[in-house]
Amino acid sequence: MQYHITHRSTVDKELSKAILLLSCTDRVGLVSRISHFIFERGGNILDLDEHVDTESGMFFIRVSWNMDGFSVSTADLEDAFRPLAREFQADWKIHVTPKKPRVAMFVSKYDHCLQDLLWRHRTGEFAMEIPLIISNHEELAPLAAQYSIPFHTYTITPENKLEQERKELSLLKEKHVDTIVLARYMQVLSQQFVDAYPNRIINIHHSFLPAFSGGSPYRQAFQRGVKIIGATSHYVTGELDDGPIIEQDIIRISHKDTLKDLVRKGRDLERLVLTRALASHIEHRVLVNGRKTIVFN
């Protein structure tokens, strides 16, 4: 079951609005009760999208409304909604815009994903702040300097990995970072790091998962003689390349393509897939359902 309402003509980029993301066990009247909560406090619904997973019996909703004239202040909004959420036994979060999420970029030596994200951010495509870039190498420091973004290097070895990660986490906390993007960061994060940012670390993997996980996926695909390659963006969990998938795309290849051709074509996909995944995340359009996601358009 799906239900979608959008009033596009009323939406303005700078409009102060609230966005509710909620999941709970499905029951009769959920959409009505949530809509009434907004209506009786003077809110105008701008967008409503809901989904019921019939297999698990779970209900998911994303609804946004205009906060101008809303009778509950931003500071009191969560307290006002909490009794209803408690009744539903729901997992939920309310985000208020135009507050921008603070996103840290993690990179190694490949620059194509980072370059694309920084360019899109400069053009205003992403409503977010990038307070810092973290790397385990120095190579991309000049690129960060071009965009006037602080660049921090933490050399990682098997011996110092956990200590370096503790330093990184301390810096992220100091800079009030909400989300981390692994823009081809060629390190496996420890469980302690992942646990600090559950469902807030976004990775780009250069294959169409679950095929060719782990290292050298383009070489694996080339050796297997596949006719389609892809890219996958997913949330990071303790299992390598096994987190809930946010976005994927593919491109056809042929027997004439060399390994270099696969890498070149794949990098175009990586940029686009990571861009779309990050956009969905910072626009609060993603709900995690176990190993899967619901991504509202």
* Predicted confidence (pLDDT) per residue in 179-195, tens digit: 999 999 999 999 999 99
Query: Per the structure block, which two tokens stand in for 58?
Result: 């779970």
The pTM score is 0.90
241 catalytic residue (yes or no): yes
Neighbours of 228 (CB within 10 A): 11
Q: How far apart are CA 280 and CA 277, in angstroms?
A: 5
3-state secondary structure labels for all residues of the chain: CEEEEECHHHCCCCCCEEEEEEEEECCCCHHHHHHHHHHCCCCEEEEEEEEEECCCCEEEEEEEEECCCCCCCCCCHHHHHHHHHHHHCCEEEEEEECCCCEEEEEECCCCHHHHHHHHHHHCCCCCCECCCEEECCCCCHHHHHHCCCCEEECCCCCCCHHHHHHHHHHHHHHCCCCEEEECCCCCCCCHHHHHHCCCCEEEEECCCCCCCCCCCHHHHHHHHCCCEEEEEEEECCCCCCCCCEEEEEEEECCCCCCHHHHHHHHHHHHHHHHHHHHHHHHCCCEEEECCEEEECC
Q: How far apart are CA 23 and CA 10, in angstroms?
A: 26
More confident residue, 260 or 212: 260
* pLDDT at 50 > cutoff 80: yes
Q: How far apart are CA 71 and CA 200, in angstroms?
A: 31
* pLDDT at 6 > cutoff 70: no
Give pLDDT tens digits for 97-143.
888 999 999 999 999 999 999 999 999 999 999 999 999 999 999 99
Which residue in the list 241, 249, 257, 261 is annotated as catalytic?
241
Average pLDDT over residues 27-51: 97
Average pLDDT over residues 228-232: 94
Q: How far apart are CA 126 and CA 183, in angstroms?
A: 15
Give pLDDT tens digits for 16-30.
999 999 999 999 999
Average pLDDT over residues 138-151: 98
pLDDT, residue 2, reads 45
Domains of the chain in start order, with CATH, are 2-97 (3.30.70.260), 103-295 (3.40.50.170)
pLDDT, residue 103, reads 98
Give pLDDT tens digits for 257-288.
999 999 999 999 999 999 999 999 999 999 99
